[in-house]
Amino acid sequence: MLGFQGALMLGLDGSKPAATTAPIVRARGLRRVYGEGEAAVSALRGVDLDIEATRFTAVMGPSGSGKSTLMHLLAGLDRPTAGSIVLDGVTITELDEEALTRLRRDRVGFLFQSFNLLPVLTARENILLPLEIAGRKPDEQWFATLVSRIGIGDRLEHRPSELSGGQQQRVALARALIARPAVVFADEPTGNLDSRSSQEVLRLLRGVVDEFGQTVVMVTHDPAAAVWADRLVLLRDGRIAFDGRAESREQVAELLSGSA
């Protein structure tokens, strides 16, 4: 997979992948309209966006700005009203539903605010579930590297109800990474966590980018979370209002308020 080439070797020898500026996701002219006629609502109004590989991108914006819509479109969870999206070399806006489902399964990892772990499965079983669904055998060496780096090796036989919120999100992160996806999309990944667990999850996301060469796109409402990213994309009224580096939470707060 393009998004994880060399990742296993990296996990074992500690080397860092060469930087690249080639976009792993490219969106052009994205529009998304909900409803029809006078009731129609334009969530996105012609967005052009490149997501660089092996980088951590945060997406923010006021309520109704289009940030969640953008993530859902880029991840293939929804289809645009107009425009095109290329993910890992595949034009996903041209795929039928079956092919799009396969692409999400094989090339996209998801991290959700509510963890979305199956309560009847152990942590180990939850992590390996995407591979089981795909009919693929796990790479035991990669599994061991992953759970060790994320710090859940001693919780693998516990069910979600026996884990803290932070531990559940760690399991969810390992599940998102187990198939070595091209991109991980994280939707408010710290929204249900206390401040300490939030920092741990953000540190892990930063780590999988820096150490594994993973690409992460995170939607968040938290200025402190955005500072962990390499890049901040701020949406307002369905358009990109800012695209650059978030230097501090104060700067992000000013951008969100419209005073910057």
* pLDDT digits 0-9 by tens, 186-230: 999 999 999 999 999 999 999 999 999 999 999 999 999 999 999
Tell me if 32 sits within 8 A of 81, measured CB to CB: yes
What six digits make up the tokens of 197? 């667990």
Tell me if 68 sits within 8 A of 219, measured CB to CB: yes
Show pLDDT as tens, one digit a residue, over the chain (260 residues): 334 434 433 443 344 444 445 799 999 999 999 998 888 999 999 999 999 999 999 999 998 999 999 999 999 999 999 999 999 999 999 999 999 999 999 999 999 999 999 999 999 999 999 999 999 999 999 999 999 999 999 999 999 999 999 999 999 999 999 999 999 999 999 999 999 999 999 999 999 999 999 999 999 999 999 999 999 999 999 999 999 998 898 999 888 887 55
Pairing of strands 231-236, 56-60: parallel
Which domains does the chain possess?
2-13+52-79+94-257 (3.40.50.300)
Q: Global pTM?
A: 0.88
Tell me if 231 sits within 8 A of 56, measured CB to CB: yes
Nearest to 108 by CA among 75, 74, 130, 79: 75
